[in-house]
Amino acid sequence: MRLTLYQPDIPQNTGTLLRLAACMGLAVDIIEPCGFVLDDKRLRRSGMDYLEGVDLTRHMSWNRFLERPPGRIVLLTTRADTAYTDFTFAADDCLLLGRESAGVPPEVHERADAELIVPMRPGLRSLNVAVCAAMVVGEALRQTHAFPEILA
């Protein structure tokens, strides 16, 4: 399973997502351009010393990312009709997160194999992207029996 960030805007969120990926054993794809320099001190602070443990691949564009198809592209979006809890995940899914400021453009929506939403109370805009990712990653790993082993 992979966590893919589409042109992330906020270094602290990216650092948190990289830390999540390191702890859960997920590979990460970052589709550029980012809204910050990838060695930003805020990214390093939020990712702490976990960043060395991440299998990270950078892609210069959406088209470059698509040159090596990752498996199913599962887009997390506020525009979806399917709740992530009603979806059956596969071990090779690519969980795609859009930009914090703008989501993803129409061509990314069109290419997605599935679009999922985190249900929330009406009238509220959205949760933080890292919070949503953690919720969906947890469910995806539970379904695919892919949580890291607990060492006693």
- How confident is the model at residue 53, as a pLDDT? 81
Which run of H or E residues covers position 34?
Answer: none
How much is the mean pLDDT over the chain? Answer: 91
Whether the CB-CB separation of 12 and 18 falls below 8 Å is answered with: no
Calculate what percentage of the chain has a pLDDT beyond 90.
74
What mean pLDDT do residues 126-138 have?
Answer: 96
Q: Over the stretch 49-108, which tens digit does the pLDDT of each residue have?
A: 777 788 989 999 999 999 987 899 999 999 999 999 999 999 999 999 999 999 999 999
> Residue 46's pLDDT band (boundaries 50, 70, 90)?
low
Instruction: Residue 98: give the domain boundaries.
Output: 2-143
Q: Does some domain include residue 77? A: yes
Q: Does some domain include residue 55? A: yes
- How confident is the model at residue 69, as a pLDDT? 73
Q: Does some domain include residue 150? A: no
Q: Does some domain include residue 44? A: yes
> Residue 9's pLDDT band (boundaries 50, 70, 90)?
very high
CATH code assigned at 109: 3.40.1280.10
